[in-house]
Amino acid sequence: MHLPVLMAELVQAMNISADGIYIDCTGGGGGHAEAVRQKLTTGKIYVLDRDPDAIERLNQKFAGDPQVVVVQENFRYLPEVVDKLGIGKVNGIYADFGVSSFQLLEGERGFSLRRDGELDMRMNPDDGESAKDVVNNYSEELLGEIIYRYGEEKFFRRVAKAIVTRRNIKQFSNTIDLANVVKGAVPAKFHKVGSHPATKTFQALRIHVNQELVAIESLLRGVEDLVVTGGRVAFISFHSLEDRLVKEYLVRYEKPCTCPPEFPICACGRVPSFNIITRKPIAPTDKEIKDNPLSRSAKLRVGEKI
């Protein structure tokens, strides 16, 4: 079971037209898609996910509904996907980044540092290197860079060294084994109550394995030409690396002019394509955080095509 985050807020932000066309880039358990679908009369929603298990669940959930189209695709390639499906411009596109509870709870997928399973972490197991390939083969320097950049782990050098020292004796194959080695590399006085010391390293490996930030950046670049005037885009992020990208792109779309401030008139010719609807990101209420602690770091940002 996956509890959709900021569900009412997202549906409201999308300003759904009952006859509109929408794209949910991250179908997951289909909670957001179902809420959007309920607002449609003659409209249609395309629901994407890169994970074949999610696609199976979504197909079951929306079986027999001709207004919901489920497709296994990576949102990184959204313009190509839209072209392939012959959709044309749409009324709204949204994404709810990160992993679903299904992925976290299925220990064998390798996402969770609390449930033992093979160290895989690929959302699409047919796409790219697994976390096991990464920790067993990358240089200490490259591992350190990934753990620093995508995990913002200040003990990245110690963690990378501990991984390489251990794999020279015995290669990694399971999650808990890696989690314990990382825990041993983070000084005990920096272990926080309620957060496993390997959380940042696991996040970094997951982001790298799934090329998550590359995909998000490509999606943010791609949406500009896919939405009709007055249409909306909305993105739910779960950590600062994701939110920073969303914010940067929305600001750039709203104020694209690159002329120096002393220019009396714009000479670069770049015109705004989106207005930012959320000056400050929308965050979950205290009640939502209490009911679903996984929502605590969520931020929703919304833009409207002009």
What tokens does 169 get? Answer: 């004796």
Q: Which of 11, 61, 70, 96 binds ligand SAM (CB under 6 A)?
A: 96
**Cβ closer to ligand SAM: 4 or 303?**
4
Question: For ligand SAM, which residue of 20, 28, 92, 222 counts as binding (CB under 6 A)?
Answer: 28
Count how many Cα atoms sit within 13 Å of the Cα of residue 65 in the half-sphere of its side chain.
22
**265 burial class (0-12, 13-18, 19+ CB within 10 angstroms)?**
exposed
Smallest gap from residue 87 Cβ to ligand SAM (A): 16
> Which parts of 243-302 interact with ligand SAM (CB under 6 A)?
none
215 is a site residue for ligand SAM (CB under 6 A): yes
**How far apart are the C-alpha atoms of 201 and 78, rounded to whole Å?**
29
Output 16-21 pairs: Cβ under 8 A, ≥24 positions apart: 16/40, 16/43, 16/91, 16/92, 17/43, 17/91, 18/42, 18/43, 19/43, 20/90, 20/91, 20/92, 20/231, 21/45, 21/46, 21/87, 21/88, 21/90, 21/91
Q: How far apart are CA 124 and CA 274, in angstroms?
A: 32
Piece in contact with ligand SAM (CB under 6 A), picked from 20-28, 39-47, 61-69, 171-179: 20-28
CB of 76 to ligand SAM, least distance (A): 5
Residue nearest to ligand SAM (CB): 28
- Which is it for the CA torsion 235, 236, 238, 239, positive or negative? positive
Please, which of residues 98-157 interact with ligand SAM by CB under 6 A? 98-100, 123
Calculate the dihedral angle through the C-alpha atoms of 240, 241, 247, 250, rounding to the nearest 10 degrees.
Answer: -150
The nearest distance, CB 145 to ligand SAM, in angstroms, is 22
> Can you tell me which of 46, 75, 148, 274 binds ligand SAM, judged by CB under 6 A?
75
26 binds ligand SAM (CB under 6 A): yes
Question: Shortest gap between Cβ of 276 and ligand SAM (angstroms)?
Answer: 22
Pick the stretch among 62-70, 97-105, 258-266, 270-278 that binds ligand SAM (CB under 6 A): 97-105
The nearest distance, CB 137 to ligand SAM, in angstroms, is 24
Q: Among 50, 109, 206, 239, which residue interacts with ligand SAM (rule: CB under 6 A)?
A: 50
Query: Residues 2, 44, 122, 247: which binds ligand SAM (CB under 6 A)?
Result: 2
Supply 147's token pair: 């753990």
Residue 51: CB minimum distance to ligand SAM, A: 4
Nearest alpha carbon to residue 32 among 19, 46, 20, 43: 46
Q: Is residue 188 within 8 Å of residue 158, measured between CB atoms? A: no
Which of 37, 57, 76, 239 is close enough to bind ligand SAM by CB under 6 A? 76
The span from the CA of 73 to the CA of 290, in Å, is 33
Give the range of 12-20, 47-55, 265-273, 295-303 binding ligand SAM by CB under 6 A.
47-55
Residue 222 touching ligand SAM (CB under 6 A): no
Dmax over CA atoms of the chain, in Å, equals 66
The residues that touch ligand SAM, with contacts defined as CB under 6 A, are 2, 4, 25-26, 28-32, 48-51, 54, 74-76, 96, 98-100, 123, 215
